Amino acid sequence: MLRLLKKLPLVALVLGPVLAAPAHAAAVRIDCPVTQVRTEITTPLSDGWWQTPQVGNLQSTKIGKVGGKDTLMCGYWAYGKTVYIMKEAPEGANCTADATGFSCTTQLVVVPLPVPALLDPITYKTGSISLKQTWMADFDNGTTGGQNGADLWFEAKTATARFLVPQNGATMAIAGNRSIGLAGCKTLAGYTNAPMPVEIFRTGLYVCVKTNEGRYSQFRVNAAAGPSPATLELGFTTWAN
């Protein structure tokens, strides 16, 4: 089994209930998420066997069918062949591939948001977290340390194999290089409890978290992790609603 470890910036479009409004053609640019990926074998190996991860460059793009749906495919070199990472094309869009991504034309319906959606979100907790290597963070109360109630663990298998791992039923998803707020976190796709390499969490990256207590939270990486032992500096907001 081959795993692609990659930066995955994502964009969410938030719409209220569809009301009568004219449709407009909109141009959408979707770039491949990264120019390089780090690949490794994830199949468990017997004692004494090991494998060196490889870094592969973006080689090609194409549009294919997966499960009968148009799918954007970015190809990277890995172990002597091209391995693809994929994303469904926007529904109803007409997309073309180029060297670094895809240009799509879609129909965008502009509608007013309902009055309740215009209300400001209620903040439950906000502040900063210094997440030390091997420690855990709780985004419901803004603390670090033990595992009771923790949402995220800064795991260090070795000095260089380090990961952020959701805990106790929490999940997370990469939001990108800008804040998307509570509404964006609620509609963001790709929440997972899978470990993510700490190298993904570069300075300025925004990440949404569904906490183990059922709240939505968003943190910004204020300072990325340096050489081991390291500390991730995070600024976060957790919402009550």
Question: Mean pLDDT of successive 10-residue segments in the chain (241 residues)?
Answer: 44 40 72 92 88 90 93 92 93 92 80 60 94 95 86 95 96 96 95 96 97 96 95 96 80
Q: Collapsing DSSP states into helix, strand and coil, what is residue 161?
A: coil
pLDDT at res. 152: 96
Q: Collapsing DSSP states into helix, strand and coil, what is residue 115?
A: helix
pLDDT at res. 24: 62
Distance separating alpha carbons of residues 16 and 236, to the nearest angstrom: 26
Distance separating alpha carbons of residues 27 and 44, to the nearest angstrom: 44
pLDDT at res. 52: 86
> Whole-angstrom distance between the N-terminal and C-terminal Cα of the chain?
40
Q: Write out the H or E segment, with its range, that includes residue 64.
A: strand 54-66
Given CA atoms 27, 32, 33, 35 in this order, what sign does their dihedral have?
negative
Q: With beta carbons less than 8 A apart as the criterion, state whether 102 and 33 touch.
A: no
Say what the pTM is.
0.52
pLDDT at res. 26: 77
Closest to 229 in 3D by CA, of 142, 132, 151: 132
Q: Collapsing DSSP states into helix, strand and coil, what is residue 183?
A: helix
pLDDT at res. 70: 93
Q: With beta carbons less than 8 A apart as the criterion, state whether 202 and 88 touch.
A: no
